[in-house]
Chains A and B, each alone.
Chain A
Amino acid sequence: MNGQGFCYARGDPVLQAQKVSKIYALGKEKVKALDEVDFLSTQGDFVVINGPSGSGKTTLLNLLALIDRPSQGEVLFEGKPTSKLSERDLAFLRRQRIGLVFQTFNLIPVLTAAENVEYPLLLLNLSRQEREQRVRSLLEEVGLDGLGRRRPDELSGGQRQRVAIARALVTQPRVVLADEPTANLDSTTGKQIMGLLQNLNGEHCVTFVVVTHDPAVPPYAQRVLDIRDGKIQGERYVADRPA
């Protein structure tokens, strides 16, 4: 793996959840958003966690992304437990090893598309030349060649999500976690975005974990987990993925 044409060897465990539960306090009441969920993804996986609103899928994603800590259980990253890591260590893992894509794109409005993609690289001590090369290459890869100077409000929803995907990949992470990446897009653009994620997964062997309630998304995955009421209800492999 080197430069922009990076590719990880498939098969090593990347993210693992062992009987994780998450309990929220709503006033005096306690709500169990996740109930002893087990999860495993290996390098190069494309996993979709599918479920309706309130099923706990975003909660699970936040735990896997090391943004939140489980009330019980353990999240392992690259085989190592994370519960005892400090906030600083978790932030380090997130910026070095994890890419995130949000439902509402979450781009920084005052930065251009290229600057948004470059932003996570600023903490990685890369040379300016290396940063620019990565940004240029990724913008081209996600189909935004020539649009780097535009600000988010000058881009369509699909283009913004492409910028967000480029931003997630620019640090060459082991895993990209996407929260409802098609929810704010029309169906055609949603398909394009999923196709893009599928291609990037194939090309770079980056693990993709996508949570969604959009029925158009699961067919792009290799594996689909159904989640309901904070529990994994079932797991299936997708035989015929779109080309």
Chain B
Amino acid sequence: MNLKLALRNVFRNRRRTLFSLLVIGVGVTLLSFVLGFVAEALRSTERSLALELGALQVGDARVLEGRASGLEALISPSDLDKVVGLVRTVEGSRISPQLNFAGLIGNEKGSTLLLARGVVPEDCMADYVCMLVAGRPLAEREAREVVLGERLAGKLNLRPGDTVNVAAGTVNGTLNASTVTVVGTLRLSNAQLEERFALVPLGFAQRLVRTTGVERVLIWIEDLAEAPQVRTQLEQRLKDAGLSFSVRTWQDLSPFFESIGTFWRAFSGLTSLAIFVLVFFSVLEVLTISFLERTREVATVRALGVPWSRVFGNFVLEGMAVGFLGGLAGVMGGIFLGLVFNALGLTFVPPGGTMPQPIRVAVGLQTLVVPFLLALLATAASSVYPGWKNARLNVAEALRAV
């Protein structure tokens, strides 16, 4: 009966109720859109970081923390075999050792700084294929090949098939140089990095810097969220095997992601707060009028012996019924808006970026539940003051006044 009474009271003044539902519905729709956008932005950043960094990396702690260059603390071939053996016990993992080095790249037309990454083509090249804009991926581990960042290739006026000289410091502190063939160009999301970036086969990188070791081992796993658990497992296994290497997750290696996450969370929080305040005050006004119009009824039911707490509970229930219906409408609006927006296929080039990125919004429970609950909470909160005030009225005075 209480719910029936609450629902009937909700629709007592249809125009007023429609206004409340509209405010709540629009608020929930907008909030679910914003949360969906933020969720998708974070997910997309996560994906691109995981592609770049792997879910986890194994290497010397000083190197992983940026306190030493890769060439100062390498993983020896025998240790690498042990590390690879241990990592392979992690279900669904893919691994790729890397050796990064800095140097110079140039030809007779000019030279420039180079940040090169030695990779095992068959381990990880598939991840770079989608970034290729010309030529082909690296093919052989030992080949003298290079895939250049598109801007770097442009700067040196290089195309697939051209040759170029690469020079780098060796582990002994001397200089070494070699001529390589450009087999492809790729586009990175970071324009600044693309001006200096190149991929070379790991074997070539090792010959150039005169080592047989690697700097770090990148590990990809199916579910990024499991990275911290895998890290703990691997650390224990490395310790048990007498290896002093460290394991870092992609989040440890990209502290800026935490800043981005904090920014987006603050943005979502402020938007949620704004929507809460909007719904709270709009519904507060409507409910105050609606409740005060029922002074006679309240006085009557109180006179009949209904405790004030029950009357108050009924008012809050009524507020929540408005919130529930408005929230439901907003959730449907959010789903519709999200699907329409995604269907438009909009893109944008982020600041410092090179490639148009799709702008999408996530549509799902995680972006709909919070706005819905927020609407419920805001309307329940809106009903507290007018409900309490009305339920606590002086019965005799209220009966006399009507």
Contacts and interface: CB of A to CB of B under 8 A. Distances in A.
A95 B307 CA distance: 9
Contacts of B308: 87
A217 interface: no
Contacts of A87: 308
Interface of B: 1-2, 4-5, 8-9, 12, 296-297, 300-308, 310, 395-396, 399-400, 402
Interface of A: 58, 62, 65, 67-68, 87-88, 91-96, 98, 100, 102, 104, 106, 108-111, 115, 118-120, 122-123, 167
B304 A120 contact: yes
Contacts of A67: 303, 395-396, 399
Given A58-B400, A67-B396, A67-B399, A108 B5 contact: yes
Contacts of A104: 296, 402
Given A108-B300, A115-B4, 9 more contacts: A68-B396, A91-B302, A98-B305, A100-B304, A110-B5, A110-B8, A120-B304, A120-B306, A122-B1
Chain A binding surface SS class: helix
A119 B1 contact: yes
B5 A111 contact: yes
Contacts of B304: 94-95, 100, 119-120, 167
A143 B1 CA distance: 25
Contacts of B300: 102, 106, 108
A154 B395 CA distance: 27
A123 B2 CA distance: 11
A53 to B, nearest CB: 12
Nearest to B7: A110
A62 B396 contact: yes
A23 to B, nearest CB: 13
Given A62-B396, A62-B399, A108 B307 contact: no
30 contacts: A58-B400, A62-B396, A65-B303, A67-B303, A68-B395, A87-B308, A91-B302, A91-B305, A91-B306, A92-B305, A94-B303, A94-B305, A96-B305, A98-B305, A100-B303, A102-B300, A104-B296, A106-B296, A106-B297, A106-B300, A108-B297, A108-B300, A108-B301, A109-B297, A110-B9, A111-B5, A115-B4, A119-B1, A123-B305, A123-B310
A92 B308 CA distance: 12
Nearest to B9: A110
Contacts of A110: 5, 8-9, 12
A55 to B, nearest CB: 14
List the 6 closest pairs (A to B, CB-CB), nearest first: A95-B305, A94-B305, A110-B8, A68-B396, A106-B300, A62-B396
